[in-house]
Amino acid sequence: MTPEGKGRGAVSLCVKDVMTKDVITIDENASVKEAADAMNKHEIGCVIAVREDEAVGIITERDLLKHVIVGGKNANETKVKEVMSSPLEVVSPDTSLEAAVQLMFEKKIKKLPVIHEGNLLGLVSLTDIVRCQPALIKLLKSFAAAQDAPKSMKKIIDSYIV
């Protein structure tokens, strides 16, 4: 993929390359206790709130802590829609990782639902993006080993890639 503003032939990873595809959803009218149970069961830090199969919000561990625990609310009686973050900040599957990270920093969020034509396809987190870094380093090493790298590239690889 050639990102806009980059030179011809530039390679950029997209959100679809690193996103988590198995996203757990919960109805916005469910209790936050049910949302917490789902997060615990699946060992995840958030669930996407839906209304009639459309993603409308996100509830994170931080939301539970900030709005329910600290707020002294009853988790069995409080609805997801009362504490979820909404409207959703979303990206498309073809959004560059650079653009996704920029949006995360601008909005001070760590998770972005991936939506295409109104359908929830996945979720990309800052952790997903950081996790792909070793794969990129491995790719660079394999390219360098497979062919005689130009002197300028070899210097960078030798200096920065362990």
48 and 123 Cβ atoms separated by less than 8 Å: yes
CATH classification number, 15-131, choose in 3.10.450.50, 3.30.930.10, 3.40.50.1000, 3.10.580.10: 3.10.580.10
> Does the CA dihedral 12-16-20-24 come out positive or negative?
positive
Comparing CA positions, the residue from 101, 92, 110, 107 lying closest to residue 133 is 101
The pTM is what? Answer: 0.77
What are the b/e assignments for 48-78, b being 16+ CB within 10 Å? bbbeeeebbbbbbeebbeebbeeeeeebeeb
Read off the pLDDT band of 41 (50, 70, 90).
Answer: very high
For 103-155, the pLDDT digits (tens) are 998 998 899 999 999 999 999 998 888 787 776 666 666 666 666 666 666 66
More confident residue, 146 or 86: 86
